[in-house]
């Protein structure tokens, strides 16, 4: 029996929110529908933030109402506050993804609140979700380092893990918001987080400094069985113009499948969706696998190299 690892797709939320041109609603729906056939556990479809704050995702209700739902997939959305939570409940979202930063300065600059204020606001949303039997995942931004403060003491992250464990959320994500994680830190932090939290612990990595899949490997070795990733590697880093953001779903799946894990994912369908995504956004995506193909794809033409 192979061990199972679950994949959570973030491209239509995390990827699309930083695009410059609006992606048409029917294109978003078609992509979610295609992704729904690929084997994900969770698809983060959209965000119920104010349409003024993130105009790219102003069609959240319409997207949620139009997609064809696969009963095997959990359709989640980013929920910034109670108002967004109520919209998401009305839209029939399966899971709330709530976000706060473990770094005071990042939380203030990103959410204009202290960590304590964020936590209090999230608590109200968690209560509402639990009343409606909606799963909650809390994403802890900058868990592996803050671009403003620098390194973050493990204890700060673990205190928040304990806090939300007590709030009995379904899942917690340790997010490497700007690609500052490295393998030994990933091992150390996630091993302790797994001791404190018995729900679903997800790792959310960026490939900003090339260490994305090395961090996934370290996470897998530490026992994590759930990873966020973005189709084609879509998504940038606001602190490093031109740098990549999220790790690439098809590359994570390709690596984990080769290592003998059961991701339940269909790589051919993923690659086909990633090709389509390239056309949709009109530019080459960070995905290396999309250029080179899986290692099972053999060649005839020989050239000099070693």
Catalytically active residues are: 237
Q: How far is CA 86 from the centre of its chain?
A: 22
Closest distance to a second copy from the beta carbon of 242 (Å): 5
Give the residue from 234, 233, 251 showing the smallest Cα distance to 292.
251
Please pick, from the candidates 20, 52, 283, 306, the single residue that binds a second copy as defined by CB under 8 A.
306
How many other C-beta atoms lie within 10 A of the C-beta of residue 99?
21
Give the residue from 37, 87, 36, 95 showing the smallest Cα distance to 62.
87
**Which tokens hold the place of 305?**
């190299």
Query: Rounded CA gap, 252 and 257, in Å?
Result: 8
255 contact partners, CB below 8 Å, separation of at least 6? 213, 216, 217
- Binding window for a second copy (CB under 8 A); candidates: 11-19, 20-28, 87-95, 269-277: 11-19
Closest distance to a second copy from the beta carbon of 302 (Å): 3
Q: How far is CA 72 from the centre of its chain?
A: 18
Query: Rounded CA gap, 135 and 133, in Å?
Result: 6
Give the nearer residue to a second copy in terms of CB position, either 29 or 157: 157
Residue 71 found at the interface with a second copy (CB under 8 A): no
Asked whether the beta carbons of 208 and 250 are under 8 A apart, the reply is: no
Asked whether the beta carbons of 167 and 202 are under 8 A apart, the reply is: no
Give the residue from 99, 118, 98 showing the smallest Cα distance to 108.
118
Please pick, from the candidates 8, 118, 119, 141, the single residue that binds a second copy as defined by CB under 8 A.
141
**Bridge-based pairing state of the strands 95-101 and 135-141:** parallel
239 contact partners, CB below 8 Å, separation of at least 6? 147, 178
Contact map string, positions 21 to 60, toward a second copy, x by CB under 8 A: --------------------------------xx------
Residue 118 found at the interface with a second copy (CB under 8 A): no
Give SS3 for 201: strand
Closest distance to a second copy from the beta carbon of 162 (Å): 21
**Given the structure tokens 């992606």, which residue do they identify?**
23
Q: Applying CB under 8 A, what is the total number of residues that bind a second copy?
A: 72
Give the nearer residue to a second copy in terms of CB position, either 29 or 152: 152
- Binding window for a second copy (CB under 8 A); candidates: 69-77, 118-126, 206-214, 270-278: 206-214
Give the nearer residue to a second copy in terms of CB position, either 36 or 177: 177
Please pick, from the candidates 27, 62, 117, 149, the single residue that binds a second copy as defined by CB under 8 A.
149
Residues 238-297 that bind a second copy (CB under 8 A): 238-245, 248, 251, 254-255, 258-260, 287-289, 291-296
Give the nearer residue to a second copy in terms of CB position, either 170 or 261: 261
Closest distance to a second copy from the beta carbon of 30 (Å): 25
CA dist 175 to 71, 90, 237, 273, 280, Å? 27, 28, 13, 25, 27
Closest distance to a second copy from the beta carbon of 299 (Å): 4
Residue 150 found at the interface with a second copy (CB under 8 A): yes
Residue 77 found at the interface with a second copy (CB under 8 A): no
Residue 179 found at the interface with a second copy (CB under 8 A): yes
Please pick, from the candidates 185, 231, 265, 277, the single residue that binds a second copy as defined by CB under 8 A.
185
**Which tokens hold the place of 260?**
């003998």
Closest distance to a second copy from the beta carbon of 116 (Å): 18
Residue 219 found at the interface with a second copy (CB under 8 A): no
């Amino acid at each position: 029996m192979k061990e199972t690892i679950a994949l959570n797709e973030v491209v239509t939320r995390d990827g699309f929110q930083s695009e410059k041109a609006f992606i048409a609603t029917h294109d978003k729906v078609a992509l979610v529908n295609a992704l729904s056939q690929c084997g994900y556990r969770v698809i983060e479809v959209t965000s119920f933030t104010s349409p003024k704050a993130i105009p790219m995702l102003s069609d959240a209700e319409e997207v949620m109402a139009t997609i064809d739902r696969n009963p095997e997939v959990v359709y989640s959305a980013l929920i910034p506050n109670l108002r967004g939570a109520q919209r998401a409940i009305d839209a029939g979202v399966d899971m709330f993804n709530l976000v706060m930063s473990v770094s005071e300065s990042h939380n203030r600059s990103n959410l204009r609140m202290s960590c304590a204020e964020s936590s209090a606001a999230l608590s109200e949303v968690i209560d509402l979700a639990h009343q409606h039997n909606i799963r909650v995942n809390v994403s802890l931004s900058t868990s592996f380092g803050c671009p403003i403060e620098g390194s973050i003491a493990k204890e700060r992250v673990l205190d928040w893990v304990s806090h939300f464990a007590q709030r009995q959320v379904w899942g917690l994500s340790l997010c490497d918001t700007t690609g500052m994680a490295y393998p030994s830190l990933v091992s150390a932090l996630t091993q302790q987080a797994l001791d404190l939290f018995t729900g679903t612990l997800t790792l959310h990595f960026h490939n900003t400094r090339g260490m994305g899949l090395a961090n996934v490997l370290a996470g897998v070795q530490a026992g994590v069985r759930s990873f966020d990733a973005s189709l084609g590697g879509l998504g940038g880093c606001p602190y490093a113009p031109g740098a990549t953001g999220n790790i690439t779903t098809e590359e994570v799946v390709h690596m984990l499948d080769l290592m003998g894990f059961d991701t339940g994912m269909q790589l051919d369908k993923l690659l086909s969706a990633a090709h389509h995504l390239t056309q949709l956004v009109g530019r080459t995506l960070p995905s290396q696998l999309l250029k080179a193909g899986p290692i099972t794809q053999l060649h005839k033409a020989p050239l000099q190299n070693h």
